[in-house]
Amino acid sequence: MGKVSDGIAALDAAAACAAVRADLERGRDPMELIDEARVGLQEVGERFDAGEYFLIELIRASQVFQETADLINPKLTELYGRGESRGKVLIGTVAGDIHDLGKSIVKVLLDCRGVEIMDLGVDVAPPAFVAAVRDFGPGVVGMSALLTAAIPQFRTTVEALEAAGLRDTVKIIVGGGTVIDLDAAMLKADHVASDANAGVDVMLAWLDEAGGASAAN
């Protein structure tokens, strides 16, 4: 841990950004800096898991991380070009639901771990998922919902992927406030995430297993 990661872990945007600016001026390797920033975010995630940090603090941490990343990224691209992707994830809130808080957190957490993400937004109909799987070629599809009324849509969406012959090209994870007590098999998914962090861990494991290459490409 250094000043950058400490700043992020303390949710102190001013301190974290000041530390980044100072380090960049001193000529510190931006790759090292972004890694340190990730450590800070990781620390927040661990404190969240331990019940020390709350959801709002997790969102704030992702914002502070983003502010530091915005400072570091131009330098990173200048020196190294575009980094290698760890894999592709397609995410969206299923049809009939517009809640996207959990999904947004997942997006930030994946982004800071070098995953390429396509976010379809909210109230996404099954055909839109199918088209995006075909075009984007993700290794993982993440579906989210908060309303019980939207739960049947998980299954409907998976069935649409089956009908399009794409089901076996992806791993499917679902998440959201009301699904955590449900069985993945009932939803025809591969996994039901209990929270954003746990879901991201599962997705990363899948992507790493697949060797970073997207399943469809």
Partner 1 sequence: MSDTMTHYERMRAAWNCEVPDRVPYMPMTVYFVARQGGLTIKEFITEPEKFLKAALDGLDFIGDAQHPALNTADHMWMLGHAGWDMTTLDWRIWDEFPPHGNLPSIYEKVLIQDYDDVMERGFSTILFSTALENNIHERSIDDFLYYQFEHTKVWSSVWRRFYDETGIPILIGGRAEHPLDLLQSYRGISQLVTDMYTMPDKVLEFSYWLADYEVMQASREAVTMGAGELPGAENIFFYNGAPPGMPPDLYAKLYIPVAKKMIDAWVARGFNVWCHFDNDQTPHLEGLAGFVDGLPKGRVLLDLEKTDMKKAKEVLGGKIAICGNVPSTLMVYGTPEEVDAYCKKLIEDCAAGGGYILGAECETPWDSKRENVVAMKQAAEKYGRY
**Side-by-side strand order, sheet with 140-144:** 116-119, 88-93, 140-144, 171-175, 191-192
Mapping DSSP to helix (H, G, I), strand (E, B) and coil, where does residue 113 land? coil
Q: How far apart are CA 5 and CA 2, in angstroms?
A: 5
Neighbours of 164 (CB within 10 A): 16
79 binds partner 1 per the rule CB under 8 A: no
188 binds partner 1 per the rule CB under 8 A: no
# residues contacting partner 1 (CB under 8 A): 24
Question: Which DSSP letter does residue 99 get?
Answer: -
Which listed residue (70, 80, 148, 213) binds partner 1 by CB under 8 A? 148
77 binds partner 1 per the rule CB under 8 A: no
Asked if 128 and 120 count as a contact pair (C-beta separation under 8 A), the reply is: yes
> Between residue 95 and residue 134, which ones bind partner 1 under the rule CB under 8 A?
96-98, 101, 104
63 binds partner 1 per the rule CB under 8 A: yes
- With respect to partner 1, which residue has the nearer C-beta, 163 or 186? 186
60 binds partner 1 per the rule CB under 8 A: yes
Q: How far is the CB of 5 from partner 1 (least distance, A)?
A: 18
Of 88, 101, 94, residue with least CA distance to 158: 94
For the chain, the helix, strand and coil percentages under 3-state DSSP, each to the nearest 5: 55, 10, 35
Amino acid residing at 131: A
1 binds partner 1 per the rule CB under 8 A: no
List Cα–Cα distances, 197 to 42, 50, 59, 67, 175, in angstroms: 10, 12, 12, 20, 11
Which listed residue (25, 27, 50, 56) binds partner 1 by CB under 8 A? 56
- With respect to partner 1, which residue has the nearer C-beta, 20 or 58? 58
Q: How far is the CB of 180 from partner 1 (least distance, A)?
A: 9
Which listed residue (54, 83, 163, 205) binds partner 1 by CB under 8 A? 54
Beta bridge partners of 94: 124
- With respect to partner 1, which residue has the nearer C-beta, 53 or 136? 53
Q: How far is the CB of 67 from partner 1 (least distance, A)?
A: 10
Q: Which residues bind partner 1 (CB under 8 A)?
A: 11, 13, 53-60, 63, 96-98, 101, 104, 147-149, 151, 178-179, 181-182
